[in-house]
Amino acid sequence: MNNHQKQQTLRIIQVYAPTSAADDEEIERFYDNLEEEINKRSTYLVIMGDFNAKVGHRQDDQIFIGHFGGDHNEQGKRLATMAESRRLFVANTFFQKRAGQRWTWISLNGETKNEIDFIFTNRLQIVQDVTVIGRAFSTGSDHRLIHARIVLDSKLEKKALALSNAGQKKMAFDAKVFQQHVDASDWTLSEDLDDDYNKFVDQLKHCQQQSKVPYNNHQQKRISSLIQKLLDQRRQMKRITANNIEYHLLCKLIQRQLKEDHDAFQQQALLDTA
Cα 69-52-16 angle, rounded to 5 deg: 125
For the entire predicted model, the pTM comes to 0.62
Position 5 scores a pLDDT of 45
Give the helix ranges, DSSP H, for 39-151. 74-85
Position 156 scores a pLDDT of 64
Calculate the alpha carbon distances from 126 to 65, 67, 207, 263 in Å.
16, 18, 36, 32
Cα 247-221-208 angle, rounded to 5 deg: 135
One-letter amino acid at 40 equals: K
Instruction: Decide: helix, strand or coil at residue 269.
Output: helix
Position 8 scores a pLDDT of 82
Return averaged pLDDT per consecutive 10 residues of the chain, 274 residues in all: 64 94 89 92 94 91 87 90 90 92 91 95 94 74 92 70 56 73 80 79 80 60 66 67 66 73 65 54
Calculate the alpha carbon distances from 14 to 11, 37, 88, 203, 237 in Å.
10, 11, 15, 47, 34
The count of other CB atoms within 10 Å of the CB of residue 269 is: 24
Instruction: Decide: helix, strand or coil at residue 159.
Output: helix
The count of other CB atoms within 10 Å of the CB of residue 26 is: 12
